Structure 1
Amino acid sequence: MKLKTLTLLLLIGFTSLIVKAQNSKFNKIQELEGIEEYLYTPNGMKVLLVQDNSAPVVTVQIVYRVGSKHEVTGNTGSTHLLEHLNFKGTPTFNKRNGNAIFNVLQGIGAQMNATTWNDRTNYYETIPSDKLELALHIESDRMRNSLLLKEDKDAEMTVVRNEFERGENNPNSLLNKEIWATAYMAHPYHHSTIGWRADIENMPIETLREFYNTYYWPNNATLTIIGDFQKTTLFKLVDKYFGKITRAPHNMPQPYTTEPAQLGPRRTIIKKPGQQGMLTVGYKIPGRMHEDLPALTVLSQIIGNGQSSLLSKSFINTGLAYFGSAQASNFKEAGLFTMSLGFAPTANHDDLYASLLNMVEKIKKEGVLQEDINRIVAKLNAQTILSRDGSGSIASQINEAIAGGDWTDYINKSNRLSKVTTQDVKRVANTYLIEDQSTTGYFIPKTLGKNTPNDLKASNVIPDNNDKYFYRNPKHIHDNCINETKPNQLSQKAVTQIASAYETIEASKSGEKFIRKNIENIDLVTAKTGAKGFLTISASFPIGDYLNTNGNEMTPYLTTQMLNKGTIKNNKLQFSQKLEKLGVQLNISAETQNVNISFKCLKKDLNTVINLLAEELRYPLFDKKEFDLLKQQTVGQMKQGLTDPSSQGKIKLSQAIYPKGHPNYLTDTQTSIDNLNSVTLQEIKTFHKTYFGNAGLRMVAVGDVDTKTLYAALKKAFKGWNGGVKGLAKYTEPTKENGLTKVISIPQKPSAEMFIGQYTGIKRTDKDFMPFYIGTSILGGGFSGRLMQTVRDNDGLTYSIVANHTGHSNTGGYWFVNASFNPTLFQKGLDATMVQIKKWISHGITSDELASKKTNITGSFKVGLSTTSGLAGTILAFLERGLEPSYIDKYPKDVEAVTVKQVNASIKKHINLDQLIIIKSGSLDNNGAPLK
C-alpha cells in the first residue's frame, strides 16, 4: 500500500514538473485590464490571453506583422494573395484529404476568416471551446506548412482579380485608392492592399513562397486567445503545436523607404460613367501611436461625423452635398486625414473644394469649442465600450492595435482621447491641414449613365411602367431563424466580460430564461446576460396593409428618415447632440411590413435613451425644409444604383418573379425616384398618425438589464401612446412561369453580376422550409458550399458565389444564386454554375453533406447568439413569426430532425430547370458577350 502511495506521489510530482517546465516557456511580460501578455520563449511568439469561462465559446486569432507595406513593385498584393492561399491547405488539412480548412472549421460552426491590411495579416475563428485544440493545430500548421501550389495560385489569381474588379466598380473605393497612390509616392502605403492588376495576374508562385518564407514565422506573430480556456491546458496545447516551429533563421526585413517632402498640393481626377460626383481631400499625418493622433481623431469627428459636424452644417444641411465624412487613419507609420463629399454630377468641384478649404482655414484660425471636444470624447469612449460585444469583436480591435504598434492602445486609447484639449485640436489643424501638403481627388461622372435591359427570351416579361418599389433592406434580415446581424463589438474596465450572451442568461427564480411582460401595451421580452454595463434593444411594429391601400411606397421610408430631423421638443442639432454624447445610434427604418428599431446603450443611460426614443417616435417635427432636403439627398444617392450591376440585377430578378405590389417586387430605380419625388409632407404626417403606435409593438432587451428601471422608463415615456395596427397584409402570390434570360448592359464595369433565380412559394412556417434551406446551404452556403468549392476554388472564376432562399418571412419566398465574373469569363462562369445546379437537382445531397451542414448550422446559430445584438435580433425574429423566445432551444432540434430524403425531395419539388430566370448585369452586349 505504501509502495502504491509512493508511486502515486512520484507520478504527481513528475506531472507537476512537466507542467512547470511547460509554463516556464511562457514569460509573462505584462497584464493590463484583464489582458495578459506572454512571450513564448522557444520561438519568440507573443501570446495575449483574455480568459472568461462563463460560456463555452472561444476566439483564436493569430496576427502576423506583415502587410502590404512590406511589398515592392512587382509583388504588390502578395500579402493578400498569400492570405487566400493559406486556406488552400497543408499536408495535414487539405481538400484532397477531404478535410480542407474551411470545411473543418465551418463543420464545427465557426465564424472565421482572414483579413489583410497595410501593416498586418490576421486569421481568426470563433468556435465552441471544446474545439480549441483543433484551431491551434490549424493555425500552427499553416504558419509553416502551407502547400502554396502553383495550380492553387493560378485558380486563386482569377478569384483575387475578380475581387479587385468588384472594387473598381465602386467610385468611392476607386477614388480612395487614387488618393493614397498620389499622396504617398515613395512610401509603400502608396499601393493598395489588393495590389495592382498586373502584379495580381503575373505574380510567380516562387515570389509568393519567398514572401511566405520571409515573414510567416512565430517571432513575427501574436497569438490571441479570448474566452473559455484553462491557462495550464492552453499552455500545453500551444507548446504542443507551436513548439515544433523555430524562430526565423533571419532578421525580419522591414521597409525603410520614407516619403520625401511634398512641395505643393497634388490633384488626381477620375472620369468614369456614374451618377454622383465626389471630392476627397487628404493631408499627410503621422501613425497611430503618435501623440497627435488623438487630437486628429477628435478633429475628424468634429468635421465629419453626425448632424452637428461641420460638413453637415456647411454642405449637407445646405443642400450642397448628399453626404460627407472625415477620418484620421490609424496605420502604424503614416496616414491621411481625409474629408470627403458626395454631390450631384452638375455641381462644381472647384467651388466645393474652395468652400472646404475655407472651412479648414476657419478651424485653423478660430479653433473649436471645448464643449464639442467633450461631446466627441464622451461619444467615442461610450462607443468603445458598446463595440466590445463578444470575443470576436474584441479580437478584431486588439488586432488593429497590434498592427498600429502596441496592443495596449486597445486599453489606453480612451485615456489618450480624454486628454485632448482645444489647444491640441487647433495645433494639429495648423500643423497638418496644410494645402501644400494636401492631395485632392475628384470623381467626375463622364456621362449620366444609362442601362437598357435586353430580352433574349422573355415569355413572362413584366413591363417597367408604373412599377412599385418599397425602399427597404433587400436582404430580409429577419427571414432566417439564424440571426444575420454582424456581431457588434465590453466595459473598458471589464474587458474580460466577453461571455456568450445566450450562455450567460440569468434564469429567474422560477427557472425562466426570458421574462415576457406587457408594458404600456408593448410586448416586451427581457434577458439578463453576463454583459456588464450595457444592453441592446431591438423592436418592431407592423404597418399592416399599407402597401395594399395604393399609398406611395416611398412614404414609410421617408417617414422613418424624418424622425431624426428634429422633434417638437428639440431641433435636429439639439436632438442629435443629446444622443451623440451617449455614443448611441437610434436606428429606425422601414421594411415591407414593419418599422424596425434598434439601439445599444450603457446601462446608466437607459432611461435617457428610452425618453429620446419615445420623443422621436411620438413627436417628430416634420419640418418642410428638412423634408425637401431629405428628398433631394435621397434621390442623389439612389441614382448611384442606375449604374450598379448588382442593384440592377436584383431589381430585374425580382420583377421577373413577382407581380407589382408584392412585397418582394422591386421597382426600377427611376420609378422609385419618381415615386419619392411625388410624396408630400402631408402624406408623411398621415402615415405617421395611422401606423405609428403601440398596437403591435414588440421589443426585446438583452444584456445588463435592470427590469425595474426599464419598466419605469417605458411606462413614463410611452404613457398614453395609442394607435398603430396589428397584423400583416395579405398578398397575391405569383405562379411559376417559363424561364427567361435578360441582359442589362452597363458600360465600363470590370465586374459583371449573374443572378439565377426561381419562385418557390415556400414560407418560413412551411414544412418544406428547413429541408430546402439546408439543401440550398449545401449548394451555396459559405466557403464549404459546393459552388464556392467548384466555381471559385477549382475553377477560379469568381471571388464570391452564393445560393440563398429569401423573402419568406410572411410571403412565398424565392431561391437564387448570385456571383460576379469578369465579363470575359461570364459565360464560362455561368456554365460552371449550371453544371453544379443540375447536379444538385438530379442527384441531390449526400448523408455526409447533411451531417456536416447540420453541425455547421447549429454551431453557427450558437455562436451567433454570443452577442447581445445577435441574441436580441434572433428573439425579435421569433416574436414576429408568432413564436416564443424559448424556440431558441428547439431550433437545433428542428435542424437535426431533417433527413436526406426530405432535402432531396424539396429540391426536386421546388426547382425546375425549365423555369430558371437568368439575369446578366454589367458590361455585356445583347447576347451576353463582353462589351468592346
Structure 2
Amino acid sequence: MKKYIFVGYCSLAFCSLISAQDKSVNFRKIKELGGIEEYLYQPNGMNVLLLQDNASPVATVQIVYRVGSKNEVLGITGSTHLLEHLMFKGTTAFNKKNGNTITDVLQNTGAQLNATTWYDRTNYFETLPSDKIGLALQIEADRMRNSLLLKEDKEAEMTVVRNEFERGENDPNSLLDKEIWAAAYIAHPYHHSTIGWKSDIEKAPIEVLRNFYNTYYWPDNATLTIIGDFKKENVFALIEQYFGKITKAPKVMPQPYTEEPQQYGPRKIMVKKPGELGVVNKAYKIPGALHEDLPALNILGEIIGSGPSAILNKAFVDTQMGIYAYASATNFKEVGLFTIGVGFPTTSKHEDIDAKISEVIAKIQKEGVTQDEVNRVVAKISAQTILARDGSGVIASELTEAIAAGDWTDFVTGVDRLKKVTPSDVLRVAQKYLVDDQSTTGYFVPKQSGSNEGQDQAKASNFKPEKEPFYFRHPNHEKEGSFENEIAADNAIVKGTEEVTATIEKSASAYKREKVAGIDVVSVKTSAKDFVTVSASISLGNYANENKNLMVPALTTSMLSKGTTLNNKFKFSEKLQKLGVNININASTTKINIGFKCLKKDLDQVIVLLAEEVRNPLFDQKEFENLKQKFTGNVQQNLNDPSERGSIALTQAIYPKANPNYSSSVEEDLTSIKNATLEEVKAFHKKYFGSASMHLVIVGDTEGANLNSSLKKSFKNWNGGVVETMKFEEAKKVPSKTEVITIAEKPSAELYIGQYTGLKRADADYLPFYIANYTLGAGFAGRLMQTVRDNDGLTYNISSELGGNIETGGYWFVNASFNPALFQKGLDATMVQVNKWVKDGITSEELENKKTNLIGSFKVGMSTTSGMARTILNFIDRGLEPSYIEQYPKDIEKVTLEEVDNAIKKYIQLDKLIIIKSGSLDKNGDPLKL
C-alpha cells in the first residue's frame, strides 16, 4: 500500500512541472474576496475556491455538492445521507479488493477525513499533509463519477445508518426537535430530517441511490475548495489531471419547487418518553440565510438566549424555573425556524413554562433591545469569527455552510451584514416573525424516571442544542478550541510528532519556558496572525482520595462565572462578550482546566478578567443554590443514558472506590450536590487555586502580546495550590463479569468490554500497547470499524480505547452501539475480533501503517493553535519538556512488532473480561418486549 501511494505521488510531482500556462487557461477567475479566489473550471463547470496559506505544511481539500435531504421525496427520505455513506465503500481505483480503500489510503497519510449531509448540501473533506493534495484530489475525482455503489454494500450500510438513526432517537431533545420540524413544515422538504424516516432507511433500493448519484454528482453541481499550503499553478495542473476528463451533467438537475402553504394558527406537538427533565421548545417560521432579516434574527437570538445576561437566562435559570434556556435562528438556504427552548425540572409545569416564554416574547416585542446589547453581540461575533478560523479544516467547514446557503462570500461579508443591524431592526423582526399563529410548540414529557442501581456518574454539563449535520462515522464532533472536557491522556499526543518547526517560528528557543508570577509558562510563537490560544491546568493533588465531596471541584469552577467582588455576573459576562472571549474553567476530581482564545490585542484585558475570576469570585449564596439545582437536573439525565450508565458500570467493576478512576453513582452524586455547602466551595478555592502547580501554555501570535507583564500585574502575590504525589488504592484484575443495565424505550443499546491493564503513560509497554489498541479500534481503519461496522453492518460506531488517569494505572475497553435485537450478534462479532487480536497480534504491515499514520498526523494536529497548546500542556503536566514533540515520533518508530504482540498478551486476558450491556435489554441481555 505504501508503494502504491509513493508511485502516485511521484506522478503528481511530475505533473506539477507541466507548464501552468497550458492549464490555467481553463480556469476563469470569477472574483476574489477576503483572500479567497473563485474560479470556474470551464471544461465542466466546476466551481473552485482557493485560499492559500503556506505557513504550515497542511491543507484541506473539500468538495461540496449542492444536493441534500431537501432533494428527496416521501419514500426515499434519508437517501442522500445513505448515499454519502456508500461513497466511502469504494471506487474503481480505490476499493477493498485492491487493498487500498479510501479510508486506509488517506488515514495512512495522517489525514483527518469525513463527510456530512445536510438539508441543502453534501460535503466530503480531508485535512492532510500538503504534499498529499494530489492524492485527495485523485480520490475526490474518482468517487465523483466512479463510485461502485454495490447492492451488498448498501445492505450492510443500511443497518449502520439505521443504528445512527436509533442513537438519535435515544436523545429526548433530538427527538423533540425532529418532531417540531415535521409539524412546522408540512410541505417543504425540510419537513423530514436529513437522516430520514426509519422505514425509508430500511427499504430504499440501491437503484434509488444510484439514481441520486447519477443525477446530482457532477462537477457543475459542485464546489471544490482547497485551503492551506499549495501553489496555485500546481493545483490547477492537478485539477486538470483528475477532473479534466469528467463532463458536465448530461441532463438538467431537478430541484424541489414545493412551497410551504400558509399556516393558519399555532401548532402543538407532544413527545412522551422516559426522561428526567421536561422540555418546551417554541419555534417560529423564518426566511432563509441570505434574507435581509436574518442578521437581525441572529442578533435577537444571541441577545435573548446566550450568556448570563440573556433575557431567557434571567427569566428561567436565575428564577429556578429552568435548568437551561436558549434561543437560536437557523441559517438554511430556503426557510428555517427561530427556536426558544427551556429544559426544566418536573416540579414545573409545561404550560407555565410555555406561558412564561410568551411573556418574554411579548416584552421584547414591546420594549425592543438596546444599542449596547446589539453592539456587544456584534463585537462578540466579530471577534469569534476571527478566532474560529484556526486551521484550514475549520475554515472549510464554515465555507461549506456559506456555499450551501447560496453565496460563499457570506463567509467574508457576514460580519459586515451584522454590523448594519440596528435596535429597530431587531424589534421589527421580533414583531414580524415571533407570531403565535406561525409557531410550533413542542413538549417533551418524561414518562418515568430511570433506575440507577449505583452505576452512574455525575455529568454537570450544560445542554447546548445545535442543528448539526450527520457525520459519516463520528456521532460526536467536538468543536475546535473547546476546553469543556478534561484533556485526555493521549488525545493530543497522537497528533504530536516531527517537523514541529514547520509551524513553530524559529527563534533562539522555539519554546520559551519560565516562571512568571509563580506560574510555569510556556510560550510558542507560530504562524497564526492576530490571535493566541491559552491552555492551563492546576493539580488537585490527592483531593479525590481524601473522602471529600467529589462534586465540590465542579461546583467551585462553575461558581467562578457567577460574578466577582468587582463585577456581578452580568457585568463580567458583558465584558467578555465584547471581546468575543469564553474563559472556560472546569474541573475533574484530579485537575482544574483553564482555556481561552483571544485576539492578541485583547490579551491583557482577558488576563485581567481571568485573574479577577479565579482570585476574587463573589460566591453568592443564591447563585450557589441555583447552580445546585442546575447540577441536579443535569446529573438526573444520566439515569436514562445507556452510554453513561454503561461507562460508569465498567469503571465501578474495575476500580475500588479509593481509586480516582472509580465513578460514583447518581444517588451518591445527587446526595453530594445536595449536601455541598458554600463554605466547602470557599475552602476548596482557597486551598487549590494558586500558582503552586499551575502550568500555562500560550500558542500563536505571541510576539508583542506582553503575556508576562500581564501575568505579573494581575497575578502578583497569588498564593495557594498544592504540589502532591498522588496516593490511591491500586486496582487489580478481577474475575470476568457480565452485567446488564435495563433502560426502557431506548432503540440503541451500548456495549462495553473492558479490563484493567495498570499501564501508566511512563511505562515502557505503553506505546507498544497504544499502537496495538490503535490497530484494533482507533480511527476509520481500525479492525473493529472495518469488520463489525463495514463488513457486518451491525453498528454506527465501534472503538477500542485506553481509559483512566495516566498516573494511576489505566484500563482498556471497547465500546459499541447496537440495536437491541442485534445486540448478541454484535457482541459475538466484536469478540471474534478481540480474540483474534489477542491470540495472533497484529501484522508487520499494520504496524508500519499505524506508525505512518501517527507520525504523519502531526502536520494536521499541530496546524492549529488549540491543538498545539493542548498537546504541549499535556506534555508538561506529565513532567516532560515541550520539546518532547520532536522525540515522540522517534519513540513511535522504535516500537517493534514483537513488543506490540507481547504487550497485547501481557495486558489482556480473555478469561477476565468485564462485559456491560446497557439499554432496552432484559436481565438475560435479550431485547425488551415493548
> Is the TM-score greater than 0.5?
yes
Q: What amino acid maps onto 1:564 in structure 2?
A: S
CA distance in 2, matches of 1:603, 1:843: 53
Find the counterpart in structure 2 of residue 410 from structure 1.
Answer: 411
Please state if 1:642 is matched with 2:652.
Answer: no
Find the counterpart in structure 1 of residue 213 from structure 2.
Answer: 212
Contact 1:484 / 1:870 at 8 angstroms: preserved in 2?
A: no
Contact 1:321 / 1:342 at 8 angstroms: preserved in 2?
A: yes
Length-normalised TM-score, structure 2: 0.94
The alpha carbon displacement at 1:71 in A equals: 0.3
Find the counterpart in structure 1 of residue 686 from structure 2.
Answer: 689
After superposition, give the CA deviation of every residue in 1:707-750 in whole Å (9 maximum; x if it has no partner): 66111100000001111111342212111111100000001000
After superposition, give the CA deviation of every residue in 1:576-603 in whole Å (9 maximum; x if it has no partner): 1110111100010112321110000011
Kindly tell me: are residues 895 and 476 of structure 1, through their superposed partners in 2, closer, same or farther at Cα, counting changes over 3 Å?
farther
Kindly tell me: are residues 326 and 483 of structure 1, through their superposed partners in 2, closer, same or farther at Cα, counting changes over 3 Å?
farther
Kindly tell me: are residues 240 and 292 of structure 1, through their superposed partners in 2, closer, same or farther at Cα, counting changes over 3 Å?
same
Please state if 1:479 is matched with 2:478.
Answer: no
The alpha carbon displacement at 1:483 in A equals: 4.9
Kindly tell me: are residues 481 and 293 of structure 1, through their superposed partners in 2, closer, same or farther at Cα, counting changes over 3 Å?
closer
The alpha carbon displacement at 1:345 in A equals: 2.0
Find the counterpart in structure 2 of residue 107 from structure 1.
Answer: 108
CA distance in 2, matches of 1:662, 1:165: 35
The alpha carbon displacement at 1:451 in A equals: 5.0
Kindly tell me: are residues 318 and 244 of structure 1, through their superposed partners in 2, closer, same or farther at Cα, counting changes over 3 Å?
same
Judge which range, 537-546 or 473-482, deviates more.
473-482
After superposition, give the CA deviation of every residue in 1:123-177 in whole Å (9 maximum; x if it has no partner): 0001111111110000000001100000000000000000000000000100110
The alpha carbon displacement at 1:20 in A equals: 2.2
The gaps in structure 2 that reach 5 residues or longer are 1-14, 462-482
CA distance in 2, matches of 1:501, 1:180: 47
Find the counterpart in structure 2 of residue 489 from structure 1.
Answer: none
Find the counterpart in structure 1 of residue 402 from structure 2.
Answer: 401
Q: What amino acid maps onto 1:569 in structure 2?
A: L
After superposition, give the CA deviation of every residue in 1:259-318 in whole Å (9 maximum; x if it has no partner): 000000001100001101101011000000000000000000011011110101111111
Taking the TM superposition and a 5 Å limit, the aligned residue runs for 1:779-928 are 779-928=776-925
After superposition, give the CA deviation of every residue in 1:178-233 in whole Å (9 maximum; x if it has no partner): 01000000000000000000000001000100011000000000000001111111
Contact 1:136 / 1:237 at 8 angstroms: preserved in 2?
A: yes
Kindly tell me: are residues 85 and 384 of structure 1, through their superposed partners in 2, closer, same or farther at Cα, counting changes over 3 Å?
same
Find the counterpart in structure 2 of residue 705 from structure 1.
Answer: 702
CA distance in 2, matches of 1:475, 1:589: 8
CA distance in 1, matches of 2:20, 2:871: 43
Find the counterpart in structure 2 of residue 3 from structure 1.
Answer: none
Match of 2:532 among 532, 535, 557: 535
Contact 1:470 / 1:667 at 8 angstroms: preserved in 2?
A: no
SS in 1 for 2:80: helix
Length-normalised TM-score, structure 1: 0.94
The alpha carbon displacement at 1:706 in A equals: 3.2
Find the counterpart in structure 2 of residue 458 from structure 1.
Answer: none
Kindly tell me: are residues 17 and 778 of structure 1, through their superposed partners in 2, closer, same or farther at Cα, counting changes over 3 Å?
closer
The alpha carbon displacement at 1:670 in A equals: 1.9
Kindly tell me: are residues 474 and 532 of structure 1, through their superposed partners in 2, closer, same or farther at Cα, counting changes over 3 Å?
closer
The alpha carbon displacement at 1:548 in A equals: 2.6
Find the counterpart in structure 1 of residue 141 from structure 2.
Answer: 140
Find the counterpart in structure 1 of residue 472 from structure 2.
Answer: none
SS in 1 for 2:97: helix
CA distance in 2, matches of 1:319, 1:236: 62
Kindly tell me: are residues 683 and 603 of structure 1, through their superposed partners in 2, closer, same or farther at Cα, counting changes over 3 Å?
same
Match of 2:561 among 552, 560, 564: 564
SS in 1 for 2:857: helix
CA distance in 2, matches of 1:16, 1:195: 47
Taking the TM superposition and a 5 Å limit, the aligned residue runs for 1:437-456 are 437-450=438-451
After superposition, give the CA deviation of every residue in 1:603-635 in whole Å (9 maximum; x if it has no partner): 111011000000111010110000011001110
After superposition, give the CA deviation of every residue in 1:420-441 in whole Å (9 maximum; x if it has no partner): 0011001111111100000000
Please state if 1:655 is matched with 2:663.
Answer: no
Find the counterpart in structure 1 of residue 338 from structure 2.
Answer: 337
CA RMSD of aligned residues (A): 1.8
Q: What amino acid maps onto 1:124 in structure 2?
A: F
After superposition, give the CA deviation of every residue in 1:224-245 in whole Å (9 maximum; x if it has no partner): 0001111111111101100110
The alpha carbon displacement at 1:504 in A equals: 2.8
The alpha carbon displacement at 1:572 in A equals: 0.8
Judge which range, 699-708 or 670-679, deviates more.
699-708
Find the counterpart in structure 2 of residue 385 from structure 1.
Answer: 386
CA distance in 2, matches of 1:351, 1:593: 41
Find the counterpart in structure 2 of residue 321 from structure 1.
Answer: 322
Please state if 1:237 is matched with 2:238.
Answer: yes
Kindly tell me: are residues 565 and 485 of structure 1, through their superposed partners in 2, closer, same or farther at Cα, counting changes over 3 Å?
farther
Kindly tell me: are residues 468 and 85 of structure 1, through their superposed partners in 2, closer, same or farther at Cα, counting changes over 3 Å?
closer
Contact 2:503 / 2:526 at 8 angstroms: preserved in 1?
A: yes
CA distance in 2, matches of 1:395, 1:900: 38
Contact 1:501 / 1:871 at 8 angstroms: preserved in 2?
A: no
Kindly tell me: are residues 15 and 153 of structure 1, through their superposed partners in 2, closer, same or farther at Cα, counting changes over 3 Å?
closer
SS in 2 for 1:622: coil
Find the counterpart in structure 1 of residue 515 from structure 2.
Answer: 518
Kindly tell me: are residues 910 and 475 of structure 1, through their superposed partners in 2, closer, same or farther at Cα, counting changes over 3 Å?
farther
SS in 2 for 1:96: coil
Judge which range, 274-283 or 729-738, deviates more.
729-738
Find the counterpart in structure 2 of residue 77 from structure 1.
Answer: 78
Please state if 1:633 is matched with 2:643.
Answer: no
CA distance in 2, matches of 1:550, 1:929: 38
Contact 2:801 / 2:814 at 8 angstroms: preserved in 1?
A: yes
Q: What amino acid maps onto 1:848 in structure 2?
A: E
CA distance in 1, matches of 2:335, 2:607: 42
CA distance in 2, matches of 1:567, 1:320: 24
Find the counterpart in structure 2 of residue 156 from structure 1.
Answer: 157
The gaps in structure 1 that reach 5 residues or longer are 1-13, 453-463, 487-499
Please state if 1:130 is matched with 2:131.
Answer: yes
Q: What amino acid maps onto 1:853 in structure 2?
A: K
Find the counterpart in structure 2 of residue 355 from structure 1.
Answer: 356
Please state if 1:724 is matched with 2:712.
Answer: no
CA distance in 2, matches of 1:695, 1:18: 61
The alpha carbon displacement at 1:863 in A equals: 1.1
CA distance in 2, matches of 1:880, 1:333: 49
Kindly tell me: are residues 331 and 86 of structure 1, through their superposed partners in 2, closer, same or farther at Cα, counting changes over 3 Å?
same
Q: How many percent identity over aligned positions? A: 61
Q: What amino acid maps onto 1:829 in structure 2?
A: G
Contact 1:180 / 1:191 at 8 angstroms: preserved in 2?
A: yes
Contact 1:501 / 1:866 at 8 angstroms: preserved in 2?
A: no
The alpha carbon displacement at 1:661 in A equals: 2.3
Please state if 1:753 is matched with 2:757.
Answer: no
Contact 1:468 / 1:661 at 8 angstroms: preserved in 2?
A: no
Contact 2:486 / 2:593 at 8 angstroms: preserved in 1?
A: no
Please state if 1:300 is matched with 2:297.
Answer: no
Contact 1:543 / 1:728 at 8 angstroms: preserved in 2?
A: no
CA distance in 1, matches of 2:484, 2:727: 20
SS in 2 for 1:661: coil
The alpha carbon displacement at 1:55 in A equals: 2.0
Find the counterpart in structure 1 of residue 477 from structure 2.
Answer: none
Kindly tell me: are residues 894 and 878 of structure 1, through their superposed partners in 2, closer, same or farther at Cα, counting changes over 3 Å?
same
Q: What amino acid maps onto 2:490 in structure 1?
A: N
Contact 1:274 / 1:446 at 8 angstroms: preserved in 2?
A: yes
Match of 2:580 among 580, 583, 607: 583
The alpha carbon displacement at 1:808 in A equals: 4.1
Find the counterpart in structure 2 of residue 4 from structure 1.
Answer: none
Find the counterpart in structure 2 of residue 497 from structure 1.
Answer: none
Q: What amino acid maps onto 1:169 in structure 2?
A: N
Find the counterpart in structure 1 of residue 30 from structure 2.
Answer: 29
Q: What amino acid maps onto 2:925 in structure 1?
A: G
Find the counterpart in structure 1 of residue 224 from structure 2.
Answer: 223
CA distance in 2, matches of 1:484, 1:673: 36
Find the counterpart in structure 2 of residue 490 from structure 1.
Answer: none
SS in 2 for 1:229: coil
Q: What amino acid maps onto 1:53 in structure 2?
A: N
